[in-house]
Amino acid sequence: MALADDLDLARAEAEAGFAAAADAAAVETVRIAFLGRQGRLKALQDTFRSAPPEDKRVLGPKLNASKAAIEAALQAAQTRVSAVEIDAPIDLTEPKPRQRPGSLHPLSVLAHEIEDVFRSMGFAVIDGPHIELDDYNFTRLNIPENHPARDAQDTFWLDHPQHGANSRLLRTHTSSVQSRIYQLAGSGQLPKDQPFRYVVVGKVFRYEAIDATHDNTFTQVEGFVVDREITVAHLVGAIRTMLGAALKRDDVEVRLRPAFYPFVEPGFDVDVRAPGADPSVRYHRWMELMGCGLIHPDVLAAGGIDPTQWSGFAFGMGLERLAMIRHGIADIRVMNGADLRSLRQFAAG
């Protein structure tokens, strides 16, 4: 029976081949030659299939035994070469891969510092939902449907705006949290007849053309105080204290100029500028940092707060822009980009 001899020969050659293989690649070459889909064993199995039945009775067990022996030789060879690889000499002088400690994002560092400044002035730190109702984001802030001020904050809608005050959207500013707090205060869900001070640090979203100072997702810091006889002097004092603590440089100029926001009266913008004449660096010219003003009486009234008894101030600041001028970052996209090489330069804590 020629097949019996061929099986013996294949087994002997395979065992010799595996025994001689010096590394994993050589073992693999022998495996493919004998056990692969087009290998020697496959060809012998095909021959077996066409053998007469009386031969098959003898050849069957021989075929199985040969296959088992070749597989055992493969296994032994694999174990041997992997042990060789582990036994390879260890270079004790090779430097260890460097471990980098994690660090806080520059925006988180700033946010924590600003929260601490406001806590020290008696503010509570809160946030509200990112998915907001039109009512809180616009209508209660004196921005009714079809008001042109809506155009200044292009919005990601989750419902069609035709649902009116109940349409859901991604909040365009943290002023939506003002609406919610005034409603809670006006409906007696906050301590009655008490002044309050809140600061919000949170993400906001706008359908925005992106450039060096505009992103579609950014962070606002909103501060608001409701008390008796609040004036612009209180507002300016709070902003001065915040910027004094957060800017960490004393060459930044700050200016207040009149501006229109439907939910404050009077309203202002605060601009900042740092020395330098590089036209690609936006804050070498005046750059808007925040809007602010005295809370419009209609906004307090919309929440059920009596504007003849209570007054307040509010501001909303772009945290990325503050980080830009603090750290000297020319482009806002660095902040929400994932390039760790940039972010590590400003890491702290």
Stretch that binds ligand FA5, among 41-49, 131-139, 304-312, 316-324 (CB under 6 A): 316-324
CA 126 to chain centre: 21
Size of interface with ligand FA5, in residues (CB under 6 A)? 27
Q: Which is nearer to ligand FA5, 30 or 264 (CB)?
A: 264
The answer to whether the CB of 185 falls within 8 A of the CB of 226 is yes
**Partners of 221 in the β-ladder:** 201, 317
Q: Which of 15, 134, 135, 320 binds ligand FA5 (CB under 6 A)?
A: 320
Q: Scanning residues 273 to 302, which ones bind ligand FA5 (CB under 6 A)? A: 288-293
Q: Which is nearer to ligand FA5, 44 or 325 (CB)?
A: 325
Stretch that binds ligand FA5, among 38-46, 124-132, 212-220, 231-239 (CB under 6 A): 212-220
Q: Which is nearer to ligand FA5, 195 or 267 (CB)?
A: 267
End-to-end CA distance of the chain: 80
Q: What is the C-alpha separation between 87 and 205, in angstroms, rounded?
A: 57
CB of 165 to ligand FA5, least distance (A): 18
Q: Which of 15, 134, 135, 215 binds ligand FA5 (CB under 6 A)?
A: 215
CB of 184 to ligand FA5, least distance (A): 18
Q: Given CA atoms 218, 348, 117, 246 in this order, what sign does their dihedral have?
A: negative
Q: List for the chain the helix, strand, coil content (%; round to 5).
A: 45, 20, 35
Q: Which of 6, 113, 208, 331 binds ligand FA5 (CB under 6 A)?
A: 208
CB of 271 to ligand FA5, least distance (A): 9
Angle at 130 between CA 319 and CA 201, to 5 degrees: 30
Element (H, E) at 266: strand 264-273
226 makes contact with ligand FA5 (CB under 6 A): no
Element (H, E) at 291: strand 287-295
Q: Scanning residues 163 to 202, which ones bind ligand FA5 (CB under 6 A)? A: 173, 175
CB of 208 to ligand FA5, least distance (A): 4
Closest CA to 172 of 263, 109, 294: 263
CB of 348 to ligand FA5, least distance (A): 22
Q: Where are the alpha helices (DSSP H) in the chain?
A: 2-20, 24-35, 40-49, 53-86, 106-120, 134-137, 175-186, 232-246, 297-302, 319-327, 333-336, 340-345
Binding site for ligand FA5 (CB under 6 A): 153, 173, 175, 206, 208, 214-215, 218, 220, 222, 261, 264, 267, 288-293, 314-318, 320-321, 332
